[in-house]
Amino acid sequence: MTSRSPDEVRLGVPPYARGSGGGGPEDPRGLLHRARRLTAEGHPAAGGAWERAAAALRRAGGTITPGDHADALDSTALDCRGRARPAAGPLFSWAAELHERAGRPGKALVSRARSVLAGEAAGDAARAELTGLCERAAGLCRSGRVTVAQATTVFLLRARARADLLGAAPDPAAGAAGLREELGRLIAFAAPHRADPAVPGPLSDVRGLLGRITAPDDPAAAIVHLRASVAGHRAGGLPWGAVESELLLAGVLRSTGAREEAAALLRSALPTDGSGTSLRRGDRARLCLALARTAEDPRGAGGAPGGLPAEVPLLTEAVRLTGGAAVDPCLGALARLRLGCVYAGAGRFREAAALLEEALSGFAEDGDEAALVRAGAWLAHCALGLGEAGRAARGYAVAAARAGRWEDPRHAEALGRRAAHARAVAGTAGRAAPAGDADGSGGYGPWSELCGLPEPYGPPGSYQVNVYGDVGGSGPDTGVAARNRVQRCV
């Protein structure tokens, strides 16, 4: 019996990692022990460990138990990123049924809550279902049938759902204040039990969420909460659990001007000794992008033509890490856009164009207008640099038409001027080009117009987090659709 379902194959869930070592038969008992241990730690390699254990059991003529199968399904669902994400909800639901069959009510409640967050239900219906699960978890915890760690996780998942909907609340700041009180009570509930090895992980996650929804209103207090979250995960030897709080902490530090401290934090989260391989590829890519953003010139300049800024290796690594279907395609498109813009600004137009074409394709699938405009405009800039003025004019015109739907007319006007300039260059082939050469120094240079274009996905909504770890303010939501936020697993 295998822990992979037909749905996983159909929806493109990546095959489990086979791990290191030889390909010969291995002891099923040892492999099961390792898979159970990695599952208890929440290790990203747990899914691969379960697949190896299931294969060894099949060779030995045995089968995986319902409880172990449920753990394997949970581990698989947590790895459902990118195009495979629709498989997460059904897998969590299946895991919940198996946990119940195996007499594990606490694990069943956690899987059920995750299936709600990963599913299609939203708004009042999802909140009502999560509240019911929390009430059941509280009752079973009082009777000793659900552990403190499991009950904390169920309550955390409901709080995370509330945080993700703050932007739609009539008064986001008041909603955040109420949620902070709830999280404070949850910390008070879990903290006395932190000697239990299962508690520090969810407790640190609670502190991280508290830091996130505190950041717009009290950055200093948010830093305290986020430092505690990172320290808790790292002290427990769980670097993969610390990533979200590390990104959030770096974002708050950046916003307060402590860019060097933010960069040092992110570098420590990306070790060079190989231990960083315990992190998921998408998380490592986000850390690379955040560090590149922290290290970049705050004026937005990409360096003189021909030169490359120091963040290029980080962006190159982010592009490498975001290849394949297992990573959010929006994250991959963003990495390629960032590196492509840097190459274009340095005059390396051919390399830039290849990256920007991939980014434009990824953004076209998602439909974010700001991303399409920025990628298309920089691709047009590359075409002009490669001597393809007609193609550049068409690219600028498409970008200008898209930008013309925005309230601020300045971007469409600037792109329209660039389109006109490119048409003029195309019409003077073999003669002197019109003034305003697009080499980065003239009136049509990229720094004044292309770097000023809105960023993909816009600013994060109220109390929401973008790919770099920046948290949106407490005012009215920006209207960024939920589908446009970079995906993260529940």
CA distances from 484 to 326, 331, 470, 481 (A): 18, 11, 15, 5
The token duo for 290 is 């955040």
What local confidence, expressed as pLDDT, does residue 437 receive? 47
Q: Render 230-285 in DSSP notation, one character per residue.
A: HHHHHHTT-HHHHHHHHHHHHHHHHHTT-HHHHHHHHHHHS-SSSGGGGS-HHHHH
Q: Which residue has the tokens 């003669």?
A: 431
What local confidence, expressed as pLDDT, does residue 306 receive? 52
CB distance 330 to 486 below 8 Å: yes
Mean pLDDT by 10 residues, the chain (490 residues): 41 42 64 95 93 92 93 94 87 97 97 90 81 98 97 97 91 96 98 96 98 97 98 94 97 96 96 71 95 78 60 95 79 95 93 96 89 96 94 96 94 94 81 45 56 88 94 67 40
* Pairwise CA distance, residues 283 & 488, whole Å: 9
**Neighbour-count burial for 14-36, b at 16+ CB within 10 Å, e otherwise:** bebeeeeeeeeebebeebbebbb
What local confidence, expressed as pLDDT, does residue 276 receive? 54
In the 8-state DSSP scheme, what is residue 430? T
What local confidence, expressed as pLDDT, does residue 459 receive? 84
CA distances from 463 to 296, 333, 433 (A): 25, 24, 49
Tens of pLDDT, residue by residue over 355-403, are 999 999 999 988 899 999 999 999 999 999 999 999 999 999 999 999 9
* Pairwise CA distance, residues 480 & 457, whole Å: 7
What local confidence, expressed as pLDDT, does residue 327 receive? 73
CA distances from 344 to 85, 136, 242, 316, 386 (A): 33, 56, 34, 14, 11
